[in-house]
Amino acid sequence: MRRIPWDVLLALLAGLGAGLLYSWVISPVRVVDSAPIALRADFKDQYRSAIAAAFASTGNLERARTRLGLLGDANSIEALNAQAQRMLASGDIQQADQLAALASILAQGNAFVAPPASSTPNPPPTGGAVSTGSEAVSTSTSVNIVTATSEETPTQSIILEATPRPTRTPLPTQGEPFVLTGQESICDSNLPDGLLQVLVLNANRRQLPGIEIRITWDNGEDQFFTGLKPELGNGYADFIMSPDITYAVQLALGSDIATSLIAPVCESPSGEPFTGGYKLTFQQP
């Protein structure tokens, strides 16, 4: 009967144990400076939110586009719109607005460069920020340090400039105001009752996602966004109107106002009444 080589098996087990001890306890693998494309899905969402917040503060579109490229999304605009929809569903309106605004700017290709920090010609002695209206203007303080030698050499003046504080940066503009190019009542029994459909296009008739739409009525208002139903179009959005209520619709970026919108009363082929809707089209000139 052949003898089991216990000495060889023990040596292999000891080597395996030593290797595991070294790799797991003594010197475990640490991931440092990994690419954002390797992040988990929820961490990618946090990364996009940080990019959108930074863009809302600085308006630097090229930097935002470069950072989004590091995530490796097949379509950054669709990824931003999808996350904005999730943020709206969770009730985080601020992040949803920032994500949708960045998606809208990327779709239009309009860059915005934040203005440099300015300084007042006669800063106050203590330095800091001076409030002018709704914006804060940074100031810098000049400090003169005079030194002299015992031999009465000419004095030297050294001017130290305090680092300017950051100024508030206005949000990027979205181009010319939109024009209401189409308004038609829809009587289609296959559609939900009171369906208000909105389509937003740029000057080249490309649909724009992430555009905020404001709708108001007596003692009430609401907002909704394009691009949340990409199967119907990136520039599509809808809202359910209640009967016998007059609505007004306008884009948050600035546009014509569609007023006196009351859900029409329609009649089906069988003679039964139902509530119709509207279709509005906004386009940049």
pLDDT in tens, 211-230: 999 999 998 999 999 988 88
Residue 149 has pLDDT above 60, yes or no: no
**Residue-level pLDDT at 34:** 66
Q: Residue 195 has what pLDDT?
A: 95
The domain spanning residue 268 has which CATH number? 2.60.40
Q: What is the pLDDT of residue 57?
A: 80
Please tell me the total count of domains within the chain: 3
Q: Which helix (H) or strand (E) holds 146?
A: strand 142-147
**Starting at the edge strand that comes first in sequence, how are the strands of the sheet with 258-261 ordered?**
220-225, 212-217, 247-251, 258-261
Same domain, 189 and 140: no
Q: 67 with 174: CB under 8 angstroms?
A: no
Q: What percentage of the chain carries pLDDT values higher than 70?
A: 73
Which of 24-28, 113-117, 174-178, 211-215 has the highest mean predicted lDDT (pLDDT)? Answer: 211-215
The pTM assigned to this predicted structure is 0.43
SS3 200: strand
Per-residue pLDDT at 249: 96
H or E element that contains 21? helix 6-21
Residue 192 domain-assigned (yes or no):
yes
**Residue 123 has what DSSP assignment?**
-
pLDDT greater at residue 265 or residue 157: 265
Residue numbers of the domain that contains 246:
179-283
